[in-house]
Amino acid sequence: MIYIVPNDLFPGGKVPKFFPVRYSVQVRYADVDAMNHVNNAAYLTYLEVARTAMWREHVRPAESARDFPFIVASATVDFKAPIRFGDDVQVQLAVVEIGRKSFTIEYRIDAGGQPAAEAQTVQVYFDYAIQRSVPIPEEIRKRLEKLRFLPVL
């Protein structure tokens, strides 16, 4: 086991996570609720925007919804701070686990440069024609491997 000693670089001994992919997301008027901040449900849409952009740019092109051969089986969000209309929102993501038929993505949503949420989704590779989960092809697995957290040097 490796222990990180707290210092100026790693306060509290926590090593920062370096996400390999980042996307900007625009806060829409419809995302804002009566409390004058982004409604919790919109965070899942922000994850979807980043996840589908990541897939199209780094895994394989997609022209229609059927070109995303996975379904989201699980989604969790830990809310840290509110997002408001007009905030600069960035969604960072990394693949953290690749199983035989599924893969897990970890996210961080920042608003105005501050952490607003941390999230995780589990995607199951899916064949729509037979309506079943299927093993992730080796070519896709290799591309997903390149989307893991960047190493701390």
pLDDT for the residue 110: 97
Helix (H) or strand (E) holding 116: strand 114-127
For residue 11, the SS3 value is helix
Domain containing residue 81: CATH number: 3.10.129.10
Q: Is residue 4 part of a domain?
A: no
How far is 15 from 18, CA to CA, in rounded Å? 9
d(CA 110, CA 119): 12
Total domains in the chain come to 1
pTM of the model: 0.87
Report the Cα–Cα distance between both ends of the chain, in Å, rounded. Answer: 17
- Cβ atoms < 10 Å from Cβ of 144: 20
State the pLDDT at residue 150. 79
- In tens, the pLDDT along 39-79 reads 999 999 999 999 999 999 999 988 888 889 999 999 999 99
Average pLDDT, the chain: 90
pLDDT in tens, 11-35: 655 666 889 999 999 999 999 999 9
Mean pLDDT of 97-124: 97
**Residue ranges making up the domain that contains 121:** 19-145
Question: What is the C-alpha to C-alpha distance for residues 29 and 109, in angstroms, rounded to an integer?
Answer: 18
